[in-house]
Structure 1
């Protein structure tokens, strides 16, 4: 029986890890594509178009499938709904502005790899009782060391974008850190809604209201040509950068703890590093690949440690198939 439970636990972990790995790859693709397009399209127009298209799709999908039942979240979980709208807006606006200034792989690694560090803080505050093991704390601290190396490289011109100046690097890193904080809080609130039985489709139907309002407010001074130029890039970002990745992320979150989610998602930079060379502006950077490989190795170690820890817990809590007298029941 214990062996069957361990097998079931492994299957549950796999159900969470596979969607999270898909999310990591899609996020990398979005960062590379978005960084390229944001050189010619304003972040404001891209934000307005992409999030409007995503929200309309998921709203229509949810209404067709389940009517207006998802609106009960606005009553039963209104604080979490407001919070996830705010964290979504903070995370994505920071991402778009960071991508205008820094190498996509660096934005990706700072924005995602800092996640485990902030999850340790936000999880303890927002989801009391959430478990964190010693190995995950060590991994989070190790990730901070490698991130400091990448930060140094951004200021000294050692990354793929070359010498961009201290001011540009500082703003890019500032927005990347803001993205990391927002992403960590976002994952935690998504987990809270999932814990309350809300499906990924329901959450996606209500999480973009603030983002849409901010996006169109910011385009108020933009010309019609600027908005029109963002239509195709906005549609691409809506699919590969928002809708599909967030959907698979929500599925992964249902089967993993937030700290585990953050560790797996932090593998995304390795995808971004190799994808970004499809953009002719960028050149290989040894410093970036060293930092990314180090972070990937730590994230993998943390994920495996969590899997072993959860497996031991399951084994310890499964009742024995035998009573104390040795008779099988």
Structure 2
């Protein structure tokens, strides 16, 4: 079993005992702001946010490039090769890494669930990018993420009812997500609404819900002592199997020979490096905080779209993205103050 059977989540290393906590409380007024409290600190919170923010910037650039590339190439070949490389690389690295993880039926169940939702979220994302404006696709994903996370986190990790402020923030972002639906359907997006645009929107919604569940499951494995390398080594089997069923096997060799540089760039910028960054962020902060930082992704993606001549800048998309980002940044600041 990877989760504690005692009440509450497993305490991180360095956590004070109950007696130490009482002693700390009596001295807290004399300590400087930002001092470690219960094994957590503002510096740890800031570093976690920084890693997720780097993920947002890097993946936004990669997603815009991938959306342009997928208009003329096979999306499934690029994904299959990228995930295969990730899986092989981190299986090799994880074999040489010790850990405190306790394997059992529960951890196996969590890994199976993680494989399923990982496959859905990544494939849903890239199919959405093929048929809809990248900034719209990312906005759908982040609009659904906070609302799903507050309840899934309480249910799966047994954190209790989410704070009222988190519920209000997630509902506000989800409301703006409905505005983004109107932008796409009314023809006011940066990419013209086509026969398959609705497919892109549906896949973006599914990907957003799956991403929220993915972040929580990764956090559960971290709570159980698994390392980032171990999680990356074993979370893509389902994705690879699904892609093997979707890909045209006769196109693999020609696709690699013609577009090897683009495939490598997409793999590094949208999968390998972003995964390393976001897992370091998830390790340091709560899933809801991760989703708040991810909510800044639409405006970053929108700015990168200026490098894609296929997309016409849309003021409606810009307004929706700014609103989501403003709410997310405000909430991140409040959480930072809370952690201090």
- Residues 68-120 of structure 1, C-alpha deviation per residue, up to 9 Å, x if partnerless? x7997576610111111111100011011100111111111111232101102
Residue 45 of structure 2 is aligned to residue 17 of structure 1: no
RMSD between superposed Cα atoms in Å: 2.1
User: Which sits farther off after the overlay, 299-308 or 145-154?
Assistant: 299-308
Contact 1:119 1:184 in 2 (8 A): yes
After TM superposition, the structure 1 = structure 2 runs for residues 145-164 of structure 1, keeping only pairs within 5 Å, are 145-161=175-191, 163-164=192-193
My pick for the range that moved more, 273-282 or 300-309, is 300-309
Paired residue for 2:274? Answer: 245
Q: Which residue of 2 aligns with 1:274?
A: 303
Q: What residue in structure 2 maps to residue 171 of structure 1?
A: 199
Deviation at 1:255, TM superposition (A): 1.3
Aligned to 1:66, the other structure's residue is in SS state coil
| 2-structure distance, mates of 1:43, 1:264 | 27
1:178-208: CA deviations, max 9, x gaps? 0101100000001001111211111111111
Deviates more, 1:221-230 or 1:131-140: 221-230
Equivalent in the alignment of 2:16: none
Provide Cα deviations, 1:38-86, integer angstroms capped at 9, x if missing partner. 11112221221111122122222223x327x799757661011111111
- Deviations along 1:266-307, one digit per CA (max 9) or x if unpaired, are 111121111111111112110011001100011112212222
Alpha-carbon distance change, 280 to 225 in structure 1, aligned in 2, over 3 angstroms: same
1:225 maps to which of 241, 249, 254: 254
In the alignment, structure 1 residue 136 sits paired with structure 2 residue 142: no
Q: Paired residue for 2:86? A: 54
Mind listing any 5+ residue stretches in structure 1 that lack a counterpart?
312-329
User: Does the 8 Å contact 2:110/2:217 carry over to 1?
Assistant: yes
| TM-score, reference length from structure 1 | 0.87
Q: Is 1:66–2:94 an aligned residue pair?
A: no
1:87 counterpart (114, 117, 131): 117
What SS does the corresponding residue of 2:159 show, helix, strand or coil? coil
Where 1:44 maps in the other structure, the secondary structure is helix
Q: Deviations over 1:197-254 (max 9, x none)?
A: 2111111111111111211222245434245445333322221111111111111111
* 2:132 and 2:197 in contact (8 A); partners too: yes
> Per the alignment, in what secondary structure is the counterpart of residue 190 of structure 2?
coil
User: In the alignment, what sits opposite 2:323?
Assistant: 294
1:318 aligned residue: none
CA contact under 8 A between 2:102 and 2:224: conserved in structure 1? no
Q: What is the CA–CA distance in structure 2 between the aligned matches of 1:24 and 1:14, rounded to whole Å?
A: 15
State whether structure 2 residue 77 is matched by structure 1 residue 45: yes
Q: CA, structure 1 residues 213+71, in 2 after alignment: closer, same or farther (shift >3 Å)? A: farther
Q: Give aligned pairs, total.
A: 307
2:313 to 281, 284, 300: 284
Between Structure 1 and Structure 2, the one with more helix by share is 1
Are the structure 2 counterparts of residues 256 and 29 from structure 1 closer, same or farther at C-alpha, using a change threshold of 3 Å? same
2:293 maps to which residue?
264
The CA distance in 2 between the partners of 1:275 and 1:135, in whole Å, is 31
Q: Give the distance between the partners of 1:211 and 1:134, measured in 2 at CA.
A: 36
Task: Tell me whether 1-10 or 132-141 shows the greater mean CA deviation.
Answer: 1-10
Contact 1:84-1:207 within 8 A present in 2 as well: yes
Does residue 102 (structure 1) correspond to residue 132 (structure 2)? The answer is yes
